[in-house]
Structure 1
Amino acid sequence: MTIATYIRQDLEARIRAGRDVPEKFTLAAIADQYEVSLTPVREAVDELLDQGLLIKGTNRRLIVNPQQVGKSDGRVLSDRPDAPTNWDDVLMQHVLLQSLQGQPIFLREEAFANQFGIGRTLLRRIFSRLSGAGVLEHVPRRGWRIRPFQEEELASYIEVRELLELKAFDLACSKFEEADLKRMLEGNQPDEDGVARRLDNHFHHYIIKKSGNRYIRDFFAHYGGYFRALFDFAALGGDVIAEMAAQHREILEAALAKRWSTARAALANHIRAQESAVRRILKLLQENPEQLNLLAEVKIPSPPE
């Protein structure tokens, strides 16, 4: 299933079920909601227009066709479709695990594509994106070289990240929307037994985007991919997830109350805490190298951005 098909089926299910329908049906709003580019959104919207599920109002804006709300069309569409495999996440996780071995490993496109059962064209596009994020390096006639993890780079990145994220926070806090903050807060709440088993990391992407500073955005777009995946990887353990979720709640609750200095200080503490989380997972792997294969079977939480 393609991303465009998934978006079309998901929106169709929402419209026909008459619930969870997006408030805004602009291309940009839908792309932002699904965290994709405009290309698959345009394709999905065109199909929904052809089906009559969406129509254009008198002002030419997209609106839901009220005659289609709650109309099953003879099919069971109340259940939303499963999201397609995010091959960017899958391959990033695999590459990251290899990176933690600390050696510059080469990947051959044909062998790698066969291993995961995907086409080389798709693989090459993903590898190009990983290369842009500093995770891989393309070496002519030799393939793609995995960037080996270097511990000394971790502290340097954390230092710059803290400076830029706090600046982004300062620029963005007046633009925060209460509904957005509440949604992210809900994504970090503990389960009924009081234990947090989920982590919503979107606040970082949110403040960078809301800052409106393209130089801050460019830094994280270029350098953030590798370290973001590394931090998500370090949060695989249940104790770390609970710890990080609690830190997110502290930030978001303060932001909702407009206690900006408290939220800012909590954000700084959270960013610094991620370095210790990474170092804990590295120590575990050094003491038990076999854990590398076990962790390969665990899905990295979807990152922000």
Structure 2
Amino acid sequence: MAESLPRQSLSDKVSKHLKAQLANQERKVGERFNARHIATELGVSRTTINKAIEKLIAEGLVELDESRHPVVVALPTKLKVHDTTEFEFSNQTDSTYEFLLEKILRGDLGPGEIVKERPLAIELGVNPATLRRAAEWLRGDGLLERLPRRGWQVSGLSPRDLQDTYDIRLLLEPCAITEAVRWISEEDLDQLDRDSDRLNELGEKASVYDRREADSQFHLKICEASGNRILKESLEPLIRKTLLITTVSFRFGRSSSSFEEHKTIIEALRKRDAKAATKQLKIHLRNAKKFNTAAWERH
């Protein structure tokens, strides 16, 4: 089925669109990117826009100024120019998926909550078939469950489910990081460092959603860097599933220690030390398992 094939993320599409605007000189060097305005223009979330801009930062086309606003610093030199005026998200499933994913991860749709197809489709201005396809993708991520004749329900996790999920991650993620040590680029490591530093600078000002999303992106980046597609596809839904409860643990103060552990993993990756990277990753996951289980039981 088409839904099961790897799909390009919405932030990737937005990033390519913004890069095309730069290539067409529709945006100039020195110009600031306004995430809110671009989100309104393209009909996507600000989170998606920020992810797209981060990709441009990693490519050296955009930098953050002293006020931490993204500013164009270079134009692409090797890019096939196309007509950006024709750009639109013709596949509404992508934007519907991103919308629902963000609502779940922000806690606007909590575990056990019912998602009714028709009212939500009307609210989003999409047809029920589009909503169902997006919901199927989220079911594949382990975030939604199908309820016959009732719609969809946000998945819940019991303490046992949580422990089992971490146990499987402890088996699979060391395999991913062993390969990632060999293949992850310095650019990707720099991006992981920047993401961690940015959240540390924001401290408590950073939203729980941003901190939790940064944690998941850290692990997903390692999976991607392994170069093992099957391993990545196996781990993605497990990482997504644990996101359902990390809001609770981050509210109990887990985020600062979590990102310190990320730093030790990044350091081992930079040294191309597979043994140290694997050891630090296991420590990180075991700490997360212990803390999240306790936080969930207290919640």
Superposition TM-score tier, normalisation by shorter sequence: 0.5 to 0.7
State the alpha-carbon separation in 2 of the partners of residues 211 and 191 from structure 1. Answer: 25
Change (3 A) 1:126 1:194: closer
Shift of 1:134: 2.5
Structure 1 residue identity aligned to 2:110? Q
1:135–1:146 CA contact under 8 A, matched in 2: yes
State the alpha-carbon separation in 2 of the partners of residues 256 and 131 from structure 1. Answer: 35
Shift of 1:91: 3.4
Look up the SS of the partner of 1:145 in the other structure.
strand
1:185–1:249 CA contact under 8 A, matched in 2: yes
Shift of 1:210: 2.3
State the alpha-carbon separation in 1 of the partners of residues 108 and 235 from structure 2. Answer: 17
Q: Which residue number corresponds to residue 243 of structure 1?
A: 257
Structure 1 residue identity aligned to 2:21? E
Shift of 1:5: 6.1
4+ residue runs over 6 A deviation: 190-194
1:162–1:271 CA contact under 8 A, matched in 2: yes
Structure 2 residue identity aligned to 1:123? L
Q: Which residue number corresponds to residue 269 of structure 1?
A: 283
Shift of 1:109: 1.1
Q: Does residue 145 of the first structure (1) align with residue 159 of the second (2)?
A: no
Shift of 1:249: 1.0
Query: Is the radius of gyration larger for structure 1 or structure 2?
Result: 1
Q: Which residue number corresponds to residue 259 of structure 1?
A: 273
Q: Which residue number corresponds to residue 204 of structure 1?
A: 219
Of residues 112, 133, 139, the one that matches 1:125 is: 133
Shift of 1:34: 4.2
Q: Which residue number corresponds to residue 159 of structure 1?
A: 167
Change (3 A) 1:93 1:203: closer
State the alpha-carbon separation in 1 of the partners of residues 29 and 240 from structure 2. Answer: 37
Structure 1 residue identity aligned to 2:270? L
Give aligned-pair identity as a percent.
21
Q: Which residue number corresponds to residue 170 of structure 1?
A: 178
Deviation digits for residues 28-51 of structure 1, max 9, x if unmatched? xxxxx849xxxxxxxxxxxxxxxx
Deviation digits for residues 219-274 of structure 1, max 9, x if unmatched? 124444322x2254245438322121111111112221333322221111111222
1:109–1:123 CA contact under 8 A, matched in 2: yes
Shift of 1:113: 4.0
Shift of 1:155: 1.1
1:107–1:146 CA contact under 8 A, matched in 2: yes
Shift of 1:19: 6.9
Look up the SS of the partner of 1:149 in the other structure.
coil
Q: Give the alignment of 1:196-235 within 5 angstroms.
A: 197=206, 199=211, 200-201=214-215, 202-227=217-242, 229-230=243-244, 232-234=246-248
Q: Which residue number corresponds to residue 17 of structure 1?
A: 28
State the alpha-carbon separation in 2 of the partners of residues 153 and 215 from structure 1. Answer: 22
User: Structure 2, unaligned stretches of length 5 or more?
Assistant: 1-9, 32-50, 54-74, 83-94
Structure 2 residue identity aligned to 1:139? L
1:230–1:278 CA contact under 8 A, matched in 2: no
Shift of 1:126: 2.2
Of residues 105, 119, 124, the one that matches 1:93 is: 105
Q: Provide the alpha-carbon RMSD of the alignment.
A: 3.8
Look up the SS of the partner of 1:17 in the other structure.
coil
Deviation digits for residues 187-210 of structure 1, max 9, x if unmatched? 112678795756433331122122
State the alpha-carbon separation in 1 of the partners of residues 202 and 224 from structure 2. Answer: 32
Shift of 1:87: 0.3
2:177–2:274 CA contact under 8 A, matched in 1: no
User: Structure 1, unaligned stretches of length 5 or more?
Assistant: 21-32, 36-52, 56-60, 66-83, 286-305
2:101–2:138 CA contact under 8 A, matched in 1: no
